[in-house]
Amino acid sequence: MQRWLGLLWLCSFSLFGGQLAIVIDDLGYAPMPPALSQLPKEISIAILPFTRYDQDIASQAHTEQRDVLLHLPLEARNPAPEEPGTLKLAMPRHDVDLRVTEFIERLPDIVGVNNHMGSAYTEHAAQVDWIMAVIARYDLAFLDSRTSLSSVAADVAKTHQIPTLRRDIFLDHIIDKDYIRQQLHMAASLANDRGYAVAIGHPYPETLQVLQQEIPHLSVELVPLSSLWDAQRFLRGN
């Protein structure tokens, strides 16, 4: 019976159109942008831990009934400014466990975790496994931001039976309204073709303006990220 219900759920994509989840990353250094608060509650957010406004934004997002993710800072391949507490490949497992635990408990009621940067870290299965063991302990889900095409993070997450998704589209790799609009409609098209898609953007004024203008005209169902993870749990029978 469970299998047939799962197949029915998958078929519903083609009958009723695709589902698009959008995540706005890198929140925490400034208050929640009013333009973001005005967007539909289905827009999820990811917060950098131990930034000045991290807990205030999390509280506001919960009031707005938004999904909140821990935006976990990981070591990048190329030199770049790092966030407080960025996890490094050279760190021993004990330190990784403590830091990830501290980050998760800093932002209670999160629904999942996604990586901030991490083009180096997410390519190393052993160290990623340490992170996923903590995420699994808290019964959270994982979104691979795919900052590296060689990322193994999603595959490792699945070995821990963690509901897992991969980012499909970056909305604002180029901060230009026409480009962002094009990327948003590409994400909607992918959602309709495949059944679902996940797009990541940032709280740039240009991104938030395009979302405000274009979301009402998308021929796709906008959904919170957790609904896609919940569908995985349903199909898995958990």
Distance CA 238, CA 223 (A): 21
The pLDDT assigned to 203 comes to 98
| Residue whose token pair is 């901060």 | 175
Angle between helices 225-236 and 2-16 (to 10 degrees): 150
> Taking the mean position of all CA atoms in its chain, how far away is CA 161?
17
pTM for this predicted structure: 0.92
The pLDDT assigned to 7 comes to 39
Distance CA 70, CA 63 (A): 17
Which segments in the chain show pLDDT lower than 70? 1-16, 238
The pLDDT assigned to 16 comes to 55
Distance CA 134, CA 101 (A): 7
Question: In CATH, what number does 2-236 get?
Answer: 3.20.20.370
The pLDDT assigned to 191 comes to 98
Angle between helices 177-194 and 205-214 (to 10 degrees): 50
Please give the DSSP secondary-structure letter assigned to residue 218. -
